[in-house]
Amino acid sequence: MKVLRGSAVLSSATLTLQSAPTAVADNNRLRLFSGSANVPFSQEVARYLGMELGPMIRKRFADGELYIQIQESIRGCDVYLIQPTCHPVNDNLMELLIMIDACRRASARQITAVIPYYGYARADRKTAGRESITAKLVANLITQAGANRIVAMDLHSAQIQGYFDIPFDHVYASPVLINYLASKQLPDLVVVSPDVGGVARARAFAKKLDDAPLAIIDKRRQAHNVAEVLNVIGDVEGKTAVLVDDMIDTGGTISEGAKLLREQGARQVYACATHAVFSPPAIERLSSGIFEEVIVTNTIPVPEDHRFEQLTVLSVANLIGETIWRVHEDSSVSSMFR
- Provide the annotated active-site residues: 219
**Alpha helices, DSSP H only, in the chain?**
22-26, 39-49, 89-105, 134-145, 174-184, 199-208, 252-263, 282-286, 317-328
- Give residue 212's Cα distance to chain centre: 24
* 201 φ, ψ (degrees, to nearest 5): -65, -45
The region that residue 185 occupies, defined by phi over 0 for left and psi between -120 and 50 for alpha, beta otherwise, is left
Please give the angle made by the CA atoms of 168, 170 and 175, to the nearest 5 degrees. 160
- Among candidate residues 319, 313, 318, 316, the one with its CA nearest the CA of residue 3: 313
Coil, helix or strand at residue 46: helix
The residue length of the chain stands at 338
Contact 249, 203 (CB under 8 A): no
Of the candidates 229, 205, 235, 206, the one whose C-alpha atom is nearest the C-alpha of residue 217 is: 229
| Separation of alpha carbons 66 and 115, rounded Å | 19
DSSP secondary structure of 243-280 = EEEEEESSSHHHHHHHHHHHHTT-SEEEEEEEEE---T
Output the CA torsion 161→164→169→173 (10° steps).
-40
**Of the candidates 199, 205, 194, 119, which has an alpha carbon nearest to the alpha carbon of residue 155?**
119
Which DSSP symbol is given to 316? Answer: -
